[in-house]
Structure 1
Amino acid sequence: MRFIKIQVGEFGNQLEQSTNIKSNLESIIKGIQDNKILKVFDKFYHQDVIMYEKGDSTNRVGKVANRKAEESFVNNATIHEAKLLKTIIDGNNTAYEMYMDFTYGEHRIKKNQWAIQQWSNGLIIKEEFY
């Protein structure tokens, strides 16, 4: 008979962290759907977060700069629908695809968008949108 030694502490910590990330991601998605984008940004984003829009992080380094960008979106957009299509969770990395129907300025926009996150201590440290 063979026995396998499992280090429960390490696995338990990874499982707990994954569970927290899953719960935090669900809260972020619900916040987007409930038009509480700034509230979830303040709660779940790291001080050193870097955000990319199709590979460009211009003016999107640090929480202060990113909050300004989020405020600009919130102040100029009306979200009509935000429907979750897919989620992926793998350790400290998550991604979701969302169908969004919103008006930005005078323009109605309907699109699918992927958001990919890297987490550090339960907070998003890097996020990319495609």
Structure 2
Amino acid sequence: MATLLEKISDLNDLVLQGKSMEAFEKYYHEEVVMQENENQPTIGKSANRKREEEFYGAITEFRGAKPLKVTVGEGITMVEWHYDYTHKDWGIRNYTQISVQEWKNGQIIKEKFYYGA
């Protein structure tokens, strides 16, 4: 059975290969709850799939993503990412984000993203 470090490393690699939705299907639980900062969480895999597809569909230019740090704890992983892209609604975005994943039965059951405005 893969460790959480192996799972989060594979997930990150899929994102870097442009396979974010493949990573989502593989590693996210059917009951996943995802939340951006203190915004209302999005509940369930189908609602989050739609949210992810809308986000990736709105990127007009992708210049890069890089995992800077990865931390693994008891049922928890955290990744510090740096992103650089242009979004059709938000314009140029070049920032660092922390993603915290809570795992259940080998899949992410909760993920929260922390970043500046």
- 1:127 & 1:57 partners in 2: Cα distance? 13
> Which has the larger share of strand?
2
Q: Which amino acid aligns with 1:73?
A: F
- 1:114 & 1:129 partners in 2: Cα distance? 6
Equivalent residue number for residue 92 of structure 2 = 108
- 1:122 & 1:39 partners in 2: Cα distance? 16
- Matched residue count: 112
Find runs of 4+ consecutive structure 1 residues off by over 3 angstroms.
none
Equivalent residue number for residue 87 of structure 1 = 70
Structure-2-length-normalised TM-score = 0.89
Structure 2 residue runs of 5 or longer lacking an equivalent are none
Secondary structure of the equivalent of 1:46?
strand
Structure-1-length-normalised TM-score = 0.81
Equivalent residue number for residue 47 of structure 1 = 30
The question of whether the paired residues in 2 share the 8 Å contact of 1:114 and 1:129 is answered with yes
Secondary structure of the equivalent of 1:64?
helix
Structure 1 residue runs of 5 or longer lacking an equivalent are 1-15
Cα deviations across residues 28-77 of structure 1 (Å, max 9, x unaligned)?
1112211111110011000000001002234x100000000000011111
The question of whether the paired residues in 2 share the 8 Å contact of 1:45 and 1:123 is answered with yes
Of 35, 38, 49, which aligns to 2:18? 35
Question: Percent identity of the aligned residues?
Answer: 32
The question of whether the paired residues in 2 share the 8 Å contact of 1:118 and 1:127 is answered with yes
The question of whether the paired residues in 2 share the 8 Å contact of 1:35 and 1:79 is answered with no
Q: Alpha carbons of 1:74 and 1:125: their partners in 2 closer, same or farther (altered >3 Å)?
A: same
Equivalent residue number for residue 120 of structure 1 = 104
1:71 aligns with 2:53: yes
Larger Rg: 1
Q: Which amino acid aligns with 2:54?
A: S
- 1:57 & 1:42 partners in 2: Cα distance? 22
